[in-house]
Structure 1
């Protein structure tokens, strides 16, 4: 990896993921090589079952590759154990899922501040308040998830992902559970967070309008890079 340009944030080399099931071994991802530059926004698109979410899981160290390497910020994630991956993700990444994964017994402010407290940030609540205000929830700090709409809950999830000031944002169908107007607002917020924090962003999406706002679109098909995208993969 020493010959990579210094602005390379993510480098995948011949990446593969295979799982053993009742019907035998299944190749989820195969032969994926891809470089992502600092500050770049990548849209991962493709049919359902093409491996988009699995690739995002590998990028976040939430799943381990069975072949190849995942190099993120100069670290080979395939060489790290679960605890090291959790620390790396905490310190460098913000992750947003289609489901909001908020703690129902905590307020919006507590949902954003608690991970910061656990990471040792003395200004956890001040930083959480700032991020919630940035996504338009300054008046909802003390509300619980059950008191908020789906769009508001996703805004809390975005604030939680942004609060550690990560170098990389990973988002898996961030507008998938939202209606069109709310999804559009979340897209605007995502791009605003990217610009405000100068982060690299990888988005899995079925929404063409979100993919069009990315710097580059990578298409997966049957667990591999679409041949039409090969020229963009390095």
Structure 2
């Protein structure tokens, strides 16, 4: 079990996390007693074979999947039993999430997509901040384009800008370069690590790319719903 006294220096704590889901074949054990403590400002590469539980663990950290058993602490808050409204507010204040498949709103322009979380938060100057963030990812010439008018790499950069615009303390990314060519993928990763260096953001990155995992300060390896290795990268 994790020591509660470590909370102040921790960005993410998972204490005995189990996740069991129902299927036609019966109950499936997805996560099987995950214990991990990620300190503020760490960069974590989460690796392992497909089906090992990596995305499920990230979804639990994000509050998008509720564990069957155990305690989830993020940014010093026990979010295990937060209701959906409270979780949404918490994510908006603390967490940025980048998915492999972008999840942009197709009927909104790039600018509108990036401004959206700031508008939900009632922030002033949402569109000004969105413009600045899109410029930071090299898309100031694509502000009024819709997702369907953008390449895959451009859509992923819009998704990054949307995740960055709230200046999250924690950034969760699920294979953020998985659908991109090598050059574009490298650009996206530079943007992720630049945010970490500028803001001290804690990064939790799911990846199958060994070169990306090596850029992180620590690597967690999952297999069959367990963390089977926890290594500091030299």
Bucket of the pairwise TM-score, normalised by the shorter protein: over 0.9
1: CA distance between counterparts of 2:196 and 2:139? Answer: 18
Unpaired segments ≥5 residues, structure 2: none
1:154 to 131, 153, 156: 156
SS of alignment partner, residue 212 of structure 2: helix
Unpaired segments ≥5 residues, structure 1: none
2:159 corresponds to 1:136: no
Alignment TM-score, normalising by the size of structure 2: 0.95
Q: Would the aligned equivalents of 2:48 and 2:221 in 1 still touch at CA under 8 Å?
A: yes
Cross-structure match for 1:96: 98
Cross-structure match for 2:187: 185
Distance 1:5 1:93, change over 3 A: closer
Cross-structure match for 1:166: 168
Cross-structure match for 2:13: 11
Superposition deviation, residue 6 in structure 1: 2.1
2: CA distance between counterparts of 1:40 and 1:155? Answer: 22
Show CA shifts across 1:174-198 (max 9, x none).
0011111111111111111222222
2: CA distance between counterparts of 1:149 and 1:142? Answer: 14
Q: How big is the alpha-carbon RMSD for the aligned residues of Structure 1 and Structure 2?
A: 1.3
1: CA distance between counterparts of 2:151 and 2:5? Answer: 48
2: CA distance between counterparts of 1:105 and 1:80? Answer: 31
Runs of 4+ in 1 over 2 A off after TM superposition: none
Cross-structure match for 1:60: 62
1:76 to 53, 60, 78: 78
SS of alignment partner, residue 186 of structure 1: helix
SS of alignment partner, residue 166 of structure 1: coil
Q: Would the aligned equivalents of 2:79 and 2:87 in 1 still touch at CA under 8 Å?
A: yes
1:46 to 40, 45, 48: 48
2: CA distance between counterparts of 1:52 and 1:64? Answer: 15
Cross-structure match for 1:26: 28
Cross-structure match for 2:128: 126
Show CA shifts across 1:138-185 (max 9, x none).
111111112211001100000000001111000001001111111111
1: CA distance between counterparts of 2:98 and 2:67? Answer: 21
2: CA distance between counterparts of 1:196 and 1:156? Answer: 19
SS of alignment partner, residue 138 of structure 2: coil
Superposition deviation, residue 5 in structure 1: 5.2
Count of matched residue pairs: 230
Cross-structure match for 2:198: 196
Superposition deviation, residue 102 in structure 1: 1.0
2: CA distance between counterparts of 1:66 and 1:210? Answer: 31
